[in-house]
Structure 1
Amino acid sequence: MTQNIDFRLATLGDLDSIVEMLNDDLLGSQRERYEQPLPDSYLQAFHAITNDPNNELIVACMGYEIIGVQQITFTPYLTYQGGWRATIEGVRTSSLHRGKGIGTQLIQWAISRAKDRGCHLVQLTTDKKRQDALRFYEQLGFAASHEGLKLKL
């Protein structure tokens, strides 16, 4: 497993590296726009996320290099007696560092953060085309207990 990884809230200066990672895979390259300057929509989304106390954009760093990213959203529910749950989204590891345990550390960090926030459940989705990701999440203890549906607008 890779050593000396620090996790922290993303800063505006990290946005370029984050979008580059989101774009750097087969599915991401079809929906992201990594170009200079970055489209303004990324800046608007970054500010909306960082200004919301129930959203955290987390980067994994090795020294000054950003090698991973994930977004965690904390949501209160009336179900489970008014319980909170955490949703993990946008998990990516730099292509130069894949297969070194960074993704595992990202998810373990998110689970720990969810516990710190009093969540009773951590949930995530992965595209059905990402069979390796599905196996990865199952190895970390996640179970495909529900069928997820989406409607593109």
Structure 2
Amino acid sequence: MSDIDGLVIREAVPGDLEALIAIFATDDLGGHGDTTDPEAYGDYRAAFNAIAASASDTLYVAELDGTVVGTFQTSYTRTLTGRGGATLTVEAVQTHPDWRGRGIGAKMINAAIEEARVEDCRLVQLMSNRSRTDAHRFYERLGFTPSHLGFKMKLKGS
């Protein structure tokens, strides 16, 4: 029996917000500037509410014995390319540092892939920070192939 046999992946609720912020704040590689500073809570609350209100986005948590141990977000996009097929993008995949290496990330990604299958998506995609070489190996083990070069332009923040 694995120590994550009771893992539940479910849609996030407002009561999860504090745990999610804490997980994101532990991320030193992402460079997103996440923080547990109470002054930033309003920004997180507004983002949570916008995601919850979106028909195309869903925020999930991985919960074990009442503790949030991971999270990810999915977003649907439909384009004319690919004969109008839908794409599921997986974003913000994070496992709490104390729980990494136990298969939680794989269960979260597999849940996203299953969601894409149910919704008849033609593609599941994700991006990963160039510095996350361990994550790249993880995604490749799950069947993802590095295929594109991404570009970003920061408009706000450092």
TM norm structure 2: 0.92
Contact persistence 2:30–2:129 (CA under 8 A) = no
CA distance in 2: counterparts of 1:132 and 1:42, whole angstroms: 27
1:89 pairs with 57, 81, 91, which one? 91
Segments of 5+ residues of structure 1 without an aligned counterpart are none
> For residue 48 of structure 2, what is the amino acid of its counterpart?
F
2:143 pairs with 137, 141, 149, which one? 141
> For residue 121 of structure 1, what is the amino acid of its counterpart?
L
Segments of 5+ residues of structure 2 without an aligned counterpart are none
Deviations 1:79-100 (A, max 9, x none): 1111100000100011111110
CA distance in 2: counterparts of 1:96 and 1:38, whole angstroms: 24
The alpha carbon displacement at 1:61 in A equals 0.6
Q: Which residue of 1 aligns with 2:28?
A: 26
Q: Which residue of 1 aligns with 2:80?
A: 78
CA distance in 1: counterparts of 2:126 and 2:53, whole angstroms: 22
Aligned CA RMSD, in angstroms, stands at 1.4
Q: Which residue of 2 aligns with 1:101?
A: 103
SS at match of 1:148: coil
Contact persistence 2:10–2:62 (CA under 8 A) = yes
TM norm structure 1: 0.95
